[in-house]
């Protein structure tokens, strides 16, 4: 484990995966990664939920993670989404991410299976033992129907390369509870844009963000203000961004954010089944929110 954990902070977009003619558009993805870094993003998460990871083949996973590593060139950490509800498959993806040069892995709680807390612990323990990459747990009960309880997280934090959590519970008190159980060095990053302000106040150090796909500079400025303790500025930026935070989930993500990024000319407005294209009424909402925030004329 060679990553300086202090680099896991700030605004980290959960990157969309551009498609063209049914295939991953690697050129568009590479350009998007470069734009994100230029706009001030502090890290990159390829192949997460926002990147439509359940629909990517292993070859596509390798192409996307490899492209992120190639373009980042160490300027910001690349945290590959390697989770699965199959422990064996999660190990394979994590080992592949390590081989491709990712700096860390983001591993989601097993979905659909609904393991016990002991099963959850054993799942993450097996993955941690199979890699030297630092691992961020990803707790998103709304998506997975599995919740990594704070006590279980405290147990997992004792494993050397389980270094933090992407917390998408939207419960800001979790940050305080987890800090008490996991220690102050455990990296806590929000996975929920709308509550990121409160999460940071409770001890969080950043957000793995959907909105940062569309407004990377504003999201980076917001996180920088939080890090400096300038919560007056952070609140102003948060209130400015809130229409986007809300509207980018007007339908199942990432359909709204994919459409929003397409309006910026960064990708085609294409998602893979079983996601549906955004409805016309929702497109109008996304355009209106982007205009209100100042991203469109």
Is-contact 30 66, C-beta < 8 A? Answer: no
pLDDT, the chain, mean: 97
Share of the chain above pLDDT 90, in %: 98
130-188 pLDDT, tens digit per residue, is: 999 999 999 999 999 999 999 999 999 999 999 999 999 999 999 999 999 999 999 99
Asked if residue 75 belongs to a domain, the reply is yes
Q: Of 99, 111, 112, 138, which residue is the catalytic one?
A: 138
Model confidence over 212-267: pLDDT tens digits? 999 999 999 999 999 999 999 999 999 999 999 999 999 999 999 999 999 999 99
* Distances in whole angstroms, Cα of residue 210 to Cα of each of 17, 65, 77: 12, 18, 17
Which of 229, 253, 247, 258 is closest to 293 using CA atoms? 247
In a domain, 293, yes or no: no
Concatenated DSSP letters of 36-65:
HHHTT---BBTTSTTTTGGG--HHHHHHHH
Residue 239 covered by a domain: no
pLDDT at res. 2: 79
121 located within any domain:
yes
E strands present in the chain: 10-13, 19-20, 23-24, 79-81, 104-108, 135-139, 162-167, 187-190, 206-209
Here the tokens at position 189 are 């990053």
- How much is the average pLDDT of 106-120? 95
Is 138 a known active-site residue?
yes
Annotated active-site residue 258? The verdict is: no
- pLDDT for residue 122 is more than 70: yes
User: Cβ(46)–Cβ(12) under 8 Å?
Assistant: no
CB of 137 within 8 A of CB of 165? yes
Containing domain of residue 226, as a range?
5-231
Q: What percent of the chain has pLDDT over 70?
A: 100
Catalytic hit among 121, 166, 283, 285: 166
The reply to whether 213 falls in a domain is: yes
pLDDT greater than 90 at residue 58: yes
Q: What is the CATH number of the domain that holds 124?
A: 3.20.20.70
Assigned domain for 47 exists:
yes
**Quick check: 1 pLDDT over 80?**
no
| Mean pLDDT in residue range 83-107 | 98
Helices 216-227, 231-247: axis angle to 10 degrees equals 140
Contact call for residues 238 and 284 (beta carbons, < 8 A):
no
The pLDDT tens digits for 260-280 are 999 999 999 999 999 999 999
- Quote the CA–CA distance of 287 and 297 in Å, as a whole number: 10
Mean pLDDT of 64-85: 97
In this predicted model, what pLDDT tens digit does every residue of 187-208 receive, in sequence order? 999 999 999 999 999 999 999 9
Average pLDDT estimate for 39-44: 98
Residue 223 is assigned to a structural domain of this protein: yes
Q: Please give the Cα distance from 267 to 16 (Å, whole number).
A: 9
Q: Could you tell me if residue 268 is inside a domain?
A: no
Domain count, the chain: 1
pLDDT confidence tier of residue 297, bands split at 50, 70 and 90? confident
Quick one: pLDDT at residue 36?
Answer: 98
């Amino acid at each position: 484990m060679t990553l300086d954990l202090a680099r896991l902070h700030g605004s980290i977009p959960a990157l969309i995966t551009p498609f063209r003619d049914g295939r991953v558009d690697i050129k568009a993805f590479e350009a998007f990664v470069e734009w994100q870094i230029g706009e001030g993003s502090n890290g990159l998460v390829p192949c997460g939920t926002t990147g439509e990871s359940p629909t990517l083949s292993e070859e596509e996973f390798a192409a996307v993670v490899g492209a992120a590593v190639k373009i980042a060139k160490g300027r910001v950490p690349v945290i590959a989404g390697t989770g699965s509800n199959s422990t064996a498959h999660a190990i394979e993806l994590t080992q592949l991410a390590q081989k491709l040069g990712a700096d860390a892995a983001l591993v989601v709680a097993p979905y659909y299976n609904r393991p016990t807390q002991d099963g959850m612990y054993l799942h993450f323990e097996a993955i941690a033992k199979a890699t030297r990459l630092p691992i961020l747990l990803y707790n998103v009960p709304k998506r997975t129907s599995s919740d990594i309880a704070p006590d279980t997280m405290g147990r997992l934090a004792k494993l050397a390369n389980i270094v933090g959590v992407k917390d998408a519970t939207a419960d800001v008190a979790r940050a305080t509870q987890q800090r008490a159980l996991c220690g102050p060095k455990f990296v806590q990053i929000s996975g929920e844009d709308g509550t990121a302000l409160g999460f940071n106040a409770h001890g969080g150090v950043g957000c793995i963000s959907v909105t940062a796909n569309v407004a990377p500079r504003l999201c980076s400025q917001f996180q920088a203000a939080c890090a400096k303790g300038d919560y007056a500025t952070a609140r102003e930026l948060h209130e400015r961004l809130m229409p986007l935070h809300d509207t980018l989930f007007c339908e199942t993500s990432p359909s709204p954010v994919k459409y929003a990024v397409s309006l910026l000319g960064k990708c085609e407005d294409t998602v893979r089944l079983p996601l549906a294209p955004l409805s016309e009424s929702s497109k109008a909402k996304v355009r209106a929110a982007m205009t209100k925030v100042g991203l469109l004329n």
